[in-house]
Amino acid sequence: MVDAAELNIAGGVREFARATPGVTAVIDGDRRLNYAQLDDRSSRLAQALLARGLRAGDRVAVLLGNRLEYPEIAAALAKAGLVLVPLNPRMAGPEIAFIVEHSRARAILADEALAHLAPALDVSIAVGEQYEQVLAAADARDPWAAVSERDPFCVAYTSGTTGDPKGVQISHRSRVLTFYAAALEWGLGPGRRTIAVAPMYHGAGFAFAYAAVFCGGTVSMLRGFDAGNVLEMIARDRAQSVFLVPTHAQLIRSLTAEPAAHAELSSLDTLYFNAAALPRPLKEWVLDAFPGVGVHELYGSTEAGVITNLRPADARRKAGSVGHPWFATRVRVVDDEGRPVRPGTPGELFSRSPYLMNGYLDNAAATAACTTPDGFMTSGDIVVVDDEGFISIVDRKKDVIITGGVNVYPRDVEEALVTHPGVVEAAVVGVPDEHWGERIVAHVVCREAVATADLDAHLRARLAGYKVPKSYEFPGTLPRNAAGKVLKRQLRSEPQ
């Protein structure tokens, strides 16, 4: 028999509804929910879904941006034993249809403004007026569905940068332990305030926003990223710990060189970054622009959860590193034959922890391809470990460029490019070439027009000649997925 007191992502909402019922849990503009209301509304939604014929284990698609209802929907599904399938509101209809069909979702909850994109399912509820009517008419008792902590609470689909998206099954246990560790590491907990900056339909965005309500804190919903709004929200809601991705830091720097002069930021004490390693010049700017704020840089994936964290004490002296393995995490760095590599030698990173996924939904082959018999999972990244155990990401294994028979790591070139004063950011890819095998192409976002000859000269002073791009593209922006990661497959497919 399953013990309903096992780890469950609804647990924190239930606990703090009793302990601190009047404390604000969620802020969305002028709307607020305290813990008693969050508990009540999530129970009502859970009962409403069960009353419509859904049963424990059924999957429910959620097509929603960052708004007040997201945490209560997640808690409701967990209370009912249902499984969340988050959908990116920026996806096109066919992309949504693929995920809904592949996940075999029986219900969908969609923002009423996006309802036209929602496929017809057994149960469909538009989040807006209809949603409020459903809650008002529902039983308010918590259903306390029996759920094992190792059951999936969520099937999160990868961004599809390497083919069709894969459904990553994430357990209650994985996420609850992530919430507790995040509270310990980044100060999410009772009396603490944060902002849902990254989208909650993405793994990290959900984990770090929902961790606040699971652990008794307060989360403010940012509907869409705007650098000025983020700074003003920190000031207005007295946010203390805020999760960002490097792109957010770029946009804040473009808005103002002195964030504290733009808004009153004295409440802020912790920033933590994910999605991609902060380029060194940007990292230095963040450290200087937010004095007195502890800056963490973490690394992980949807499949593996958080793998490493670089803590504030080492933020400047180890800029470029993503730190040491996170709580309860073991790592292994190996060569192509699976043999451990020496410090300073590039190798593929594997990790084992309680945060690992349950596997890809209905894709045993893909699951087996990324895991070892003893339970380690590949990150797909090439890393270097220094003699102090600090890990630095060299590049995605699939992104390594072989030009003229020599391996070139795009990140080496990108790091050199962003030290040019006219360059904001860069992405380097290899494209097929009859002579070289692959030709290095740099996609460079500039503050102002920069001549390719200047970039060549800048790079030749810093890199071996074979690493210098054969050509440059100058887009206004780089294409990114919901996590803020550059879509290099898209860059490789563009006409050169």
Question: Which pLDDT tens digit goes with each residue over 461-490?
Answer: 998 888 999 999 999 899 987 767 888 888
The answer to whether 357 and 170 are in contact (CB under 8 A) is yes
Indicate whether 322 pLDDT > 50.
yes
Phi-psi map region of 310: left, alpha, beta (phi>0 left; psi -120 to 50 alpha): beta
User: Do 316 and 192 have their domain in common?
Assistant: yes
Cβ contacts of residue 285 below 8 Å, gap of 6+? 249, 253
* pLDDT-wise least confident of 241-255, 308-322, 404-418: 404-418
Q: Residue 267 pLDDT more than 90?
A: yes
**Is a pLDDT exceeding 50 seen at residue 446?**
yes
Q: Indicate if the pLDDT at residue 376 is higher than 90.
A: yes
Distance CA 406, CA 403 (A): 5
Per the structure, the complete domain to which residue 43 belongs is given by: 11-385
Q: Domain for residue 132, yes or no? A: yes
Helix (H, G, I), strand (E, B) or coil at 70: helix
Residues 254 and 359 in one domain: yes
Closest by CA position to 13, among listed 64, 78, 97, 83 = 78
User: How far apart (Å, rounded) are the C-alpha atoms in residues 102 and 114?
Assistant: 20
For the chain, count helices (H), then strands (E). 15, 25
Q: How far apart are CA 221 and CA 66, in angstroms?
A: 6
- Which stretches of 20-171 are DSSP H helices? 35-51, 69-80, 93-103, 129-137
Distance CA 230, CA 195 (A): 8
Give the pLDDT score at 493: 75
Q: Does residue 393 sit within a domain?
A: no
Q: Do 373 and 420 sit in the same domain of this protein?
A: no
State the Cα angle at 424 between 277 and 407, rounded to 5°. 55
Note the Cα 227 to chain centre separation in Å: 18
Nearest to 65 by CA among 42, 97, 99, 88: 88
- Residue 367 shares a structural domain with residue 416: no
| CA pair distance 485, 30, nearest whole angstrom | 32
Least confident of 105-109, 157-161, 340-344, 367-371: 157-161
What sign for the dihedral angle of Cα 86, 90, 96, 102?
A: negative
pLDDT band at 351 (very low <50, low <70, confident <90, very high): very high
Cβ atoms of 8 and 147 within 8 Å: the answer is: yes
Supply the CATH number for residue 85's domain: 3.40.50.12780
CA pair distance 234, 452, nearest whole angstrom: 40
Domain annotation covers residue 462: yes
Name the average pLDDT for the chain. Answer: 93
Count of structural domains within the chain: 2
Q: What is the mean pLDDT of residues 323-336?
A: 96
| pLDDT confidence of residue 1 | 44
Which residue in this structure is represented by tokens 């849902």?
196
Mean pLDDT of 234-254: 94
Instruction: Please tell me whether residues 362 and 313 are part of one structural domain.
Output: yes
Query: Quick one: pLDDT at residue 156?
Result: 96
Token pair recorded at residue 68:
């007040």
Mean pLDDT for 43-57 is 97
- Claim to verify: residue 163 and residue 281 sit in the same structural domain: yes
Q: What is the pLDDT of residue 94?
A: 87
**pLDDT band, very low/low/confident/very high, at 5 (cuts 50, 70, 90):** low
199 and 234 part of one domain: yes
Catalogue the E-assigned strands of 249-366.
270-273, 294-301, 305-310, 324-325, 330-334, 347-352, 359-360
Reported confidence tier of residue 161, pLDDT bands at 50, 70, 90 = very low
Q: Mean pLDDT across the stretch 432-452?
A: 88
Q: Is residue 103 part of a domain?
A: yes
Other beta carbons within 10 angstroms of residue 21's beta carbon come to: 15
Q: Is residue 4 part of a domain?
A: no
Of 328, 355, 385, the residue at which a domain comes to its end is: 385
pLDDT band, residue 495 (cuts 50/70/90): low
Mean pLDDT of 176-191: 97
Taking the C-alpha atoms of residue 496 and residue 491, their distance in angstroms, rounded to an integer, is 9
pTM as predicted: 0.86
Note whether residue 292 is domain-resident.
yes
Residue 392 maps to a domain: no
Q: Which of 38-47, 88-97, 352-361 has the lowest mean pLDDT?
A: 88-97
* 360 occurs within a structural domain: yes
Q: What would the mean pLDDT of 263-292 be, rounded to a whole number?
A: 92
> Got the DSSP string for 367-415?
HHHTB-TTS-EEEEEEEEE-TT--EEEEEEGGG-EEETTEEE-HHHHHH
